[in-house]
Amino acid sequence: MGHVRVRIRLANTGRRQEAIEVEDALVDTGATLTTVPRSLADQLRLEVLGQHETRTAAGVQTVDQSYAFFEYDGRQTVTPVWISDTYPGVLIGVITLEALGLSVDPASGQLTDSEFLLLLASLA
């Protein structure tokens, strides 16, 4: 399977009407959260909520954390994001994929519908 790239729209949750279209976001099923470059985070005026240490291909790095509105093929969600000072593109992580109800089909290399799961236990 090669790289999966998709067109998405990103926005500050308080400014959805100012969404920015990203033509070639890379879907990374090995990434927990979606990562956006600092320049895009600044353009969207994303609020930094804190920092996380995360393992990257370049080693452990400290990254800022925020959250953003995502739209893909008519599906919408809000998920946490990391803000990168080193990676220049948008990486779509598994939490965003799952929140959008999507997964990667390894045979076709395309995004497909995935099942939403909810476990309700009896309170008795």
- DSSP structure class, residue 47: P
Q: What is the pLDDT along the chain (124 residues), one digit of tens a residue?
A: 568 999 999 999 999 999 999 999 999 999 999 999 999 999 999 999 999 998 888 889 999 999 999 999 999 999 999 999 999 999 999 999 999 999 999 888 899 999 887 777 766 5
48 neighbors 61 (Cβ within 8 angstroms): no
Rounded Cα distance between 65 and 81, Å, is 6
Say which CATH superfamily domain 4-113 falls into. Answer: Acid Proteases (2.40.70.10)
> Would you list the DSSP string of 79-105?
EEEEEESS--S-EE-HHHHHHTTEEEE
The 10s digit of each residue's pLDDT in 23-39 is: 999 999 999 999 999 99
Q: Which of 122, 118, 19, 33 is nearest to 76 (CA)?
A: 19
